[in-house]
Amino acid sequence: MKRERLPWALGWVSLGIGLTELTFPKGLCRVLGASRHNAGLMKVLGLREVVSGLGLLTQRHRRPWVWARVAGDAIDLALLAVTFRLPRANRAWQGAITAAVVGVTLVDLYAATAKRTPPLLRSDAVTPSLGMGAENGGPAESWRGSGLAEDLGTSSRHGDEGEADEVKQRMMKEAERKLGLPKLS
């Protein structure tokens, strides 16, 4: 999964968890063995998840929102630890929920601590901003003959009529250099 997609996916996970906690707070309390009076706390936890999810889905800088998820996971794990002492808890559901929270916590920690360095472009790589990612081996020469080289060339003239091959070759080389395309040797 691409690094930019992971926070986005975690945003949708947060929305799902939060809406579940907001919709079924008493049922979740019953499964965990907690009193129905704790349904308000469950709704607050759900609201926290929804806000984190919306932050991950709508904000440009997502790292603080991922760290908010990590902090929320710590709170969730602490509260789940308390429920293991409750006699009315459904141990199978309690174990499954705890395992899921631990798994999501590990993913959140990975997303929060992953380096955000752009991939290094080799001198012979195709510039990804052209829509031809280097990883898929896109056609490096498809731009030639499209007029793009002439648009990026150093000459202020735009016509092909009367230009010498030498001038066209210079313009092509200049465009290759500006676009970072591999040389045709």
**Start-end of H helices in the chain:** 5-23, 25-32, 39-58, 63-83, 91-113, 148-152, 165-179
- pLDDT tens digits, one per residue of 37-53: 899 999 999 999 999 99
The answer to whether residues 48 and 18 touch, using CB atoms and an 8 Å cutoff, is yes
- pLDDT tens digits, one per residue of 9-23: 999 999 999 999 999
> Given pLDDT bands bounded at 50, 70 and 90, which one contains residue 146?
low
What's the chain's average pLDDT?
78
Kindly report the pTM of this predicted structure.
0.59
Produce one character per residue of 124-137: b if its CB has 16 or more CB atoms within 10 Å, e if not.
ebbebeeebeeeee
Higher pLDDT pick, 74 / 142: 74
Angstrom distances, CA of residue 11 to CA of 25, 28, 166: 21, 21, 55
Residue 79's Cβ-side half-sphere holds a number of Cα atoms within 13 Å equal to: 18
- What is d(CA 69, CA 73) in angstroms, rounded to the nearest whole number? 6
What is the residue whose two structure tokens read 């709170």? 75
